[in-house]
Amino acid sequence: MDLSRRDFIVSSSAAAAGAVSPAQAQAPVQLAQAGGGAPSPRGFDPADPALKYELVIANGDVLDPSQKLRGKRDIGIRYGQIAAIAPSIPADRAVQRIDVAGKLVTPGLVDLHTHLCPHLGLGLPADELVGITCTTTAVSAGDAGWHTWGVFRHLALANSRTRLFSFVHIASIGLAGGLAPGEMLNIEYANVDGCAKVVAENPDTVLGVKVRITDSVVGQNGLEPLRRAIRAAEMAGKGVRVMCHIGAAPGNLADLLNLLRPGDVLTHAYSGAGNNTVQNGQLLPAARAAKQRGVIIDVGHGGGSFDFTVCEPAMQQGMPPDTISSDIHSVSINTPGYPTLPWVMSKFLALGMSLEDVVARATVEPAKIIGRVPGLGTLQVGAPADLAIMELVSGPVEFVDTRNNKRTGQQKLMPYLTIRGGRPFGRPPLPTPFVY
């Protein structure tokens, strides 16, 4: 295949055709550098023995899968970055100190599938949810299309302390209409050139193209919205991903799965809405093949897209999740499945995944998919000082999926405090300038 062609935006006339050959559709995506590279401290020398910290998070049970680190640590923060992570930091080196003894401290949670654009459709205000999500970085899964992009860029992103990224919907109206009518009932909304333009113009923020392939969303249009989404992603440049939602998809699900390229994201991978990745108890070979060639397997719990009876055999038969995400929006958050990210993570603890693996799939792994911020999803020195502080509560707890299946777990993650860029939500920092 010819990778170089993706370095350029091709002409709009070629784009408007919207057609894509199978060979193009299956071409591998050249991924951005994992994690956005190594962090390097700005404005201080972490080796300076007299270095003062604006904030120290003390005595936490620190878990950072990116460093294979678990243990009691103090975390020093300066200039919005992790400045030290040590068994003990003297109290006189901290301007502000918060003792979190007994609490779990992880990198701020990174949620690959959310709807946090309150001005469009299903969206919620990101910062308002932090108290129940511990989420410091979130990806808007197609709330905006190219006609509504400015709403996301200038209202949601510009007004959120939460770090926001986005997939641009292949439908020009995005999800402005909410759950119905389906945004792809009229294929004319799927303007390849317009979508590619927005993606290419906003590489700092946009990860790729979103498409929903469900009967009620696409009507008679079958997989054509997905083909156009892939075409728009290929036009927009190297490493541009497609996030494809499934759930009661039309036709043979293998046809859809075979279109996804390495690096593309399959979200709602464990949906039980019909035409599932597990049928008659068996993981579809095309689903296993997608995972094996590097398609990202994403949870996207939501209000109707997570089924224990799909997830369990899929995990056993070769399709565990790469990323755990919530699909939190104004409808899903009011359902019994309660898809806040810590609650969805707790369900995977109940399914037998280790705490380290669960945290990795909601921090450093989605941060690699984002690939734009050095150190994101880690607690390495020089990384953004984004922290999730949770209580790991032991005791029987019942979880319900989106199809009323229940499972009992023995632990749950309960949000306690969230810090973004060195500043705790809900706890004002000390007045500046600091006096040392």
Which alpha helices (H) appear in 63-169, and where do they start and end?
126-133, 149-151
Q: Does 105 bind Zn ion (CB under 5 A)?
A: no
Residue whose C-beta lies closest to Zn ion? 327
The least distance separating Zn ion from the CB of residue 6, rounded to whole angstroms, comes to 27
Nearest residue (CB) to Zn ion, 64 versus 327: 327
Query: With respect to Zn ion, which residue has the nearer C-beta, 74 or 327?
Result: 327
Minimum distance, C-beta of residue 404 to Zn ion, in the bound complex (Å): 20
202 vs 332, beta carbon nearer Zn ion: 332
- Residue in 249, 174, 180 with CA at minimum distance from that of residue 209: 174
Q: Kindly indicate which of the ranges 27-35, 138-146, 285-293, 355-363 contains the residues binding Zn ion, using the contact rule CB under 5 A.
A: 138-146
| 298 near Zn ion (CB under 5 A) | no
Minimum CB distance to Zn ion smaller for 305 or for 380: 305
Q: Mark 320-359 with x for binding to Zn ion (rule: CB under 5 A) and - for no binding.
A: -------x--------------------------------
The count of chain residues that interact with Zn ion, using the rule CB under 5 A, is 2
Pick 53 or 270: Cβ nearer Zn ion: 270
Considering only 25-33, 136-144, 221-229, 231-239, which stretch makes contact with Zn ion by CB under 5 A?
136-144
Considering only 42-50, 135-143, 202-210, 277-285, which stretch makes contact with Zn ion by CB under 5 A?
135-143
Token pair 């009992």 in the structure block, residue: 408
Instruction: In whole angstroms, give the CA distance from residue 64 to residue 375.
Output: 12
Nearest approach in angstroms of CB 268 to Zn ion is 8
Contacts of 23 (CB under 8 A, 6+ apart): 1
Given the complex with Zn ion, which of 141 and 232 has the nearer CB atom? 141
Cβ 142 to Zn ion shortest distance, Å: 7
Residue with tokens 């689903």: 287
Name 391's bridge partners: 414
Between 83 and 299, name the residue whose CB sits nearer to Zn ion: 299
Q: Is the C-alpha dihedral spanning 176, 179, 184, 186 positive or negative? A: negative
**Minimum distance, C-beta of residue 329 to Zn ion, in the bound complex (Å):** 6
Q: Are 115 and 123 in contact (CB under 8 A)?
A: yes
Least distance from C-beta 175 to Zn ion, angstroms?
8
Distance from C-alpha of 240 to C-alpha of 20, rounded to nearest angstrom: 16
Token pair of 365 as six digits:
């792994």
Q: Is 141 in the site for Zn ion (CB under 5 A)?
A: yes
Structure tokens at 126: 């990101």
Does the CA dihedral 191-223-254-245 come out positive or negative? positive
Angle at CA of residue 148, ends 16 and 302, nearest 5°? 105
In the complex, least distance from residue 327 CB atom to Zn ion, rounded to whole angstroms: 4
Q: Which amino acid is at 383?
A: A
Q: How far is the CB of 178 from Zn ion (least distance, A)?
A: 12
Nearer to Zn ion, 107 or 272 (CB): 272
Residue 115 CB, nearest distance to Zn ion (Å)?
6
Helices 341-350 + 126-133 axis angle, to 10: 30
Residues shown for the chain? 436
Q: Side-chain half-sphere of 282: how many Cα atoms within 13 Å?
A: 4
- Which stretches of the chain bind Zn ion, using CB under 5 A? 141, 327
